[in-house]
Structure formats: structure tokens, C-alpha cells
Amino acid sequence: MVIVMAADANTQQVTAVVDLVTSTGGRAFVSRGLNRTIIGLVGDVDLFDSLSLASLPGVAEVMRISAPYKLVSREHHPERSTVRVGGVSIGPDSVTLIAGPCAVETPTQTLEAALMAQQAGATLLRGGAYKPRTSPYAFQGLGVEGLRILADVREKTGLPIVTEVVEAADVPTVASYADMLQIGTRNVQNFPLLQAVGDAGLPVMLKRGMSSTIEEWLMAAEYIAQRGNLEIVLCERGIRTFETATRNTLDVSAVPVVQRLSHLPVIVDPSHSGGRRDLVVPLTRAAVAAGADGVIVDVHPHPETALCDGPQALIGEDLSRLAEAVTVMASATGRPVNGAPALIG
Ligand code: PEP
Ligand code: MN
């Protein structure tokens, strides 16, 4: 059961709810968000029903939710949500393209990649300054220097930044540069990190764990939501299967399945799922056709020398093919592409 307090509820009113619940043997978890306080109740739901919690001062709503994830479930919020990132909307009314380099390497490489992203119609720039690599010998990212480069490129191009944070202690620093915080596949069950980004006051893109079930993924989102941050975009990025022809298997079915279970926007990463340049455009078509609210794509001016994920980065003519795939499939599913018209040709 979830209690949503009114926006103007005061501390005494929150405490009164908690005291009443705990006096009956239940447990109450208070999440103070930027805009509202939410209290999650654990215990005997029938007993809670008998307490007439909805009539207590300061209580806006009391909800009985059967899914194990509450705040991100569509039971809690039947309307599909739109998340705003630096003025760009990600949600059901449009298709949003996010693009950029896998990793920030140099100012020139990042600016060139951002211009490529813009050329393809992207309205948000991706780029990792902190890279969680499978090998400890692989390029780990430029850290704060990479964040500064991203901020400079945002200044030059106007593209808001989506960038990954891998450690709870780094959240304040990354949040001071980013417009959206990315949680990568390897950190989907790093619960302290999820809580820290939940507290950061910025929208979050939560990738699916490569071995996460949909329920586990939504429970991870719930950790962020429980801190009062519902500005979450879910990103399907491929899962581990027996297949070795692709790096991961893009679970296209996750898009409509998750959109039915959760009100949060769902986007797809066709670059990290396939791991191959030649698959990015076909997988983009599949993602948008399945109803994805956006795609996030790797581009790089010189993939042959990229420090991370060069084989999947789009180049040259790929950009107009990407733009066309997004535009055509968005139109086929009755939605506009977010932002400026992309170059097709
Ligand atoms: C990324 O998008 O840079 C990334 C590392 O992706 P994933 O977490 O999906 O592997
Ligand atoms: Mn990558």
C-alpha cells in the first residue's frame, strides 16, 4: 500500500501517519521527494484499510497496489508518463533520439560526435565520462575532465547531456554537469547507487540489467522512485541469451510488456544490444515499430580508433539511414520525432 501526501503536508502530518501504521504492527517507509512525500506501507493490508488513512490530515491518496513495484506501476499511475530532460520530452507523444559517443575521449571527438548526433536528428547527447568496463585494463573514462568536455559541447550545440554515473559517491559531481543520469546495465542492482540517483533531483535513465527479468528491472526503478524521484526512463539494451552472433539479444517484446506494467517511458539502445554497426538501423526500426519512446545510439567520428565500442558506432551515411529509420517508423506508429527535422537523404 502506498500513501501519497499532499504537496503542502507538514512533518507532523507525516509523523501521524507513520505512528498510526507502526502502532498496529505495520512498517512505514517515508520517501521525501522534491515535490511530494510518499509513504510505503508494509504489513497487513486489511488492517491498514480499517485505519481510514485517507481521512487523515495531509493525506492526498491511499493506493492498494498488487504489483511488487508500486510507484512505477501503471496501477499507481494509469497515464503513461513523460520525462523532461533539459527541455526535451521523452514520453508517449513522440519518439526521441539520443545519440553521441560511447565514451568522451577528447573535446574534438566529442564535439564532432555531437554534431553527427544533431545531423541525425538527436535532441539529447549521450557520452560516458565514467565507463564501467568489463576489463580493468580497458579505458575507464576521463572522469571529471570528461564531464567538463560534455558541458562545453552542450554550450556549443545546445544538446542536453545524458551521462553515466557508476558510484554513489560520484553522484553529486556527475549531477552538477549532467541533465540526465544514466545507470548502466552492470549497476542495475547497485541499490545504494540507485538510491543516490533517486536523491539527486535529476531525471534518470535506467538500463535493463543484461540478466535482469523485467520484474527485477522495475524493482530497480522502484528504488529510485522510492526516494521521491519519478523522472525515470527505462532503457532496454539487450539481454544475455545462448546466442553468440550478437553481443546481447535485443528483447523487443520488453517494450510493450513494460509499457503495460509501468507508466515510465521506455527507450531502446540498439547499439549496445547488437554490438554491431550493421544492426543498429534495423534494430532501431524494430524498436520504434514496437512502440519505444526513443532510441539511444552510439556515433563516433573515427570508430576505428575509438577507445570504447567502435564496432557499433555509426558513421557517415549511417546517420541519414538512422534519421530515416526513426522518422519513417515514428510516422508509421502515428508519432512525431522529437525536435528539429532530421536530415534524410
Ligand atoms: C553505455 O551506454 O555506455 C553502456 C555502457 O551501456 P550498457 O550499460 O548498456 O552496457
Ligand atoms: Mn559502450
Other beta carbons within 10 angstroms of residue 19's beta carbon come to 10
pLDDT of amino acid 33: 67
Domain boundaries, the chain: 2-63, 83-332
**How far are the Cα atoms of 111, 139, 244, 287, 341 from residue 214, in angstroms, in the given order?**
35, 30, 22, 17, 34
From the number of C-beta atoms within 10 Å of its C-beta (0-12, 13-18, 19+), residue 45 rates as: middle
The separation between CA 160 and the C-alpha centre of its own chain, rounded to angstroms, equals 14
Instruction: Indicate whether residue 294 lines ligand 1 (CB < 6 A).
Output: no
Angle at which helices 144-157 and 107-119 cross, to 10°:
40
Helix (H, G, I), strand (E, B) or coil at 195: helix
N- to C-terminal Cα distance for the chain?
53
Residue with cell 501519497: 4
> Spelled out in words, what is the top-level CATH class assigned to the domain 2-63?
alpha beta
Q: What CATH architecture is 83-332?
A: Alpha-Beta Barrel (3.20)
pLDDT of amino acid 319: 96
Angle at which helices 254-261 and 214-225 cross, to 10°:
50
Instruction: Indicate whether residue 127 lines ligand 1 (CB < 6 A).
Output: no
> pTM score, two decimals?
0.90
Q: Where are the alpha helices (DSSP H) in 133-276?
A: 144-157, 171-177, 191-198, 214-225, 254-261, 270-274
pLDDT of amino acid 76: 77
Rounded CA gap, 217 and 227, in Å?
A: 17
Which residue owns the Cα nearest ligand 1 atom 5? 184
What lies within 8 Å, CB to CB, of 317 at 6+ separation is none
Backbone φ, ψ for residue 91 (5° rounding): 180, -170
Instruction: Indicate whether residue 208 lines ligand 1 (CB < 6 A).
Output: no
CB–CB of 123/84 below 8 Å?
A: no
Of the candidates 318, 288, 341, the residue with the CA atom closest to the CA atom of residue 118: 341
Other beta carbons within 10 angstroms of residue 186's beta carbon come to 15
Residue with cell 533531483: 201
Which residue owns the Cα nearest ligand 1 atom 9? 185
Instruction: Indicate whether residue 321 lines ligand 1 (CB < 6 A).
Output: no
Q: Is 83-332 the same fold as 2-63? A: no
pLDDT of amino acid 84: 97
Mean pLDDT per block of 10 residues along the chain (345 residues) reads 91 95 90 77 88 94 88 90 96 98 98 97 98 96 98 98 98 98 98 98 97 98 93 98 97 98 98 98 98 98 97 96 97 89 49
Residue among 105, 182, 205 whose CB has most ligand 1 atoms within 8 A, to mutate: 182
